[in-house]
Structure 1
Amino acid sequence: MNEQGRQAQPGPTWRGPQHPGDPTAAKPESKQKRRWPYVAAVPLALFLGIGMGAASGEDAATATTAAEPAPTVTVTAAAEPLPAETVEVKVPGPTVTVTAKPAGPSGSIPGDGVFLVGSDIKAGTYRAANESGDCYWERLSGTSGDFDDILANDNASGPALVTIRSSDEAFSSARCGEWTRVR
């Protein structure tokens, strides 16, 4: 027993039923006292998180160095030889293009138009049948269309005869029909 006449009990003593107005009733802990575990846990959790992140992360040298890819190897298996097969194919021969030589000056003048002496017609004497009766021809020193280019001309009402010289540049004919070379 203790000095007050009570028996000593291990641990906290039982004080009987407690009522709110009982002065011997145990007072609940204040809210400030219950907050300290949270205040201590937040920095501890933060410290543990940083430590775990640093331990599991790669260092700068490892992070910047990438592993080189392994070389790719391709293996081709040899196929079994197949029996020889003969196939006949007809191939066309080479294509030959024949280009006709440009026709030189002919022995006649086909009718109406302007003809260059030496390339379209030959120099010489020509006769036109002049069936229309209204034949106009010109020997020309040029093809500019100027009045000064006319060397000789005629409005023939019957058969027409003209001598074209090799010095003439061109010959013009209208409504005369075909001209035939006489010499």
Structure 2
Amino acid sequence: MSKYIPPSADLAATTTVSPRKRRRWPAFLALVAALLVGGGIGFVVGSDPLDSRSAALDQREQDADQRDEEIAQRERDFAEAKEASNAALDSRRKTLDEKGADLSRREQELLPKEREAAKNVINGDGIYLVGIDINPGTYRNSGGSRCYWQRSSGTSGGFGEILANGNESGPAVVTILPSDVAFTSKRCGTWSLVS
């Protein structure tokens, strides 16, 4: 007797199924895509924009620190130059003050001599007081046309006060005595003490 085989089992037993060939290219494509995506993520992570910004900021900070140091050095150099300049100015001021004091002292010493020397010259027209405006002594003038001179014993203008006078048309010599009160000069130019 034959054995009963159910139809489905029979079919499986009687039918030979050839194994199906698997396609590998979709798996290969998936692997390549995964590698590309992974590499891209690695590239993006490796070149983080925050890192480049941070590096740029660090460089800027270094540049700013360097500029600050250069400015600070310039300020120190300027302060040193200013201090040296002030010291030189102080020294110069001290020297000038000393010279000014010396000149003032010499001027005070020379002032009486200059006043005395000024009394040895009679400049221009006028009435000069003997011993106050002019010194007594012998004077010579530079000359002048119609020169009038007068020695007086007073200043009232009276004829009785005239001690001596003259009208000259060229250089003249006059001796003014210590007892004279005034000397008058008109159109005679400059009189200079000769002795």
TM-score normalized by the length of structure 1: 0.43
- Structure number with higher helix proportion: 2
TM-score by length of 2: 0.41
